[in-house]
């Protein structure tokens, strides 16, 4: 299933992340998309995003995305904002508790679906 409206991208991302569906997550991104994996650390392209998301999924985290705001649209682009929380266990056994508000850009594709072009879970550069 693909996002038919911009806001659906966050719902689908959350469902696939919770299910541990790496391939399903990757299908939500444009081939040359950019992911701000950590503040100040951008990863571009499918291979880099696969590696970053695989690492996150490896934490077996508890994840939730909420307070999805209406998309801000401009033609075939839309800016999405949602709050999120993630809890898990690091490789060293220490607890990880993260939260933030996304600033993501999705782009309408020629088939009418929306894919992630820029995924910035930290909301700032």
Instruction: Please report, for the chain, the start and end positions of each structural domain, with discontinuous segments joined by +.
Output: 8-119
CATH architecture of 8-119: Roll (3.10)
Give the pTM.
Answer: 0.93
Buried b (16+ CB within 10 A) or exposed e, 3-37: beebbbbbebbbebbeeeebeebbebbbeebbbbb
Look at residue 124 in the predicted model and tell me its pLDDT: 66
Q: Per residue in 18-75, pLDDT tens?
A: 999 999 999 999 999 999 988 889 999 999 999 999 999 998 899 999 988 999 999 9
Task: Write down how long the chain is.
Answer: 125
What is the CA angle 45-76-85, rounded to 5? 60
Place of tokens 């970053």: 52
The token pair at 75 is 């033609």
């Amino acid at each position: 299933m693909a996002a038919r409206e911009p806001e659906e991208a966050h719902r689908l991302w959350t469902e696939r992340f919770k299910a541990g569906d790496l391939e399903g997550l990757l299908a939500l991104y444009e081939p040359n998309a950019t992911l701000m994996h950590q503040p100040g650390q951008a990863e571009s392209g499918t291979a880099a995003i696969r590696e970053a998301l695989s690492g996150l999924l490896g934490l077996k985290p508890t994840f939730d995305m909420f307070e999805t705001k209406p998309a801000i649209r401009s033609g075939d682009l839309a800016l999405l904002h949602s709050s999120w929380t993630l809890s898990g266990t690091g490789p060293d056994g220490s607890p990880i508790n993260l939260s933030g508000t996304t600033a993501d850009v999705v782009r309408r594709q020629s088939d009418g679906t929306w894919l992630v072009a820029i995924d910035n879970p930290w909301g700032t550069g």
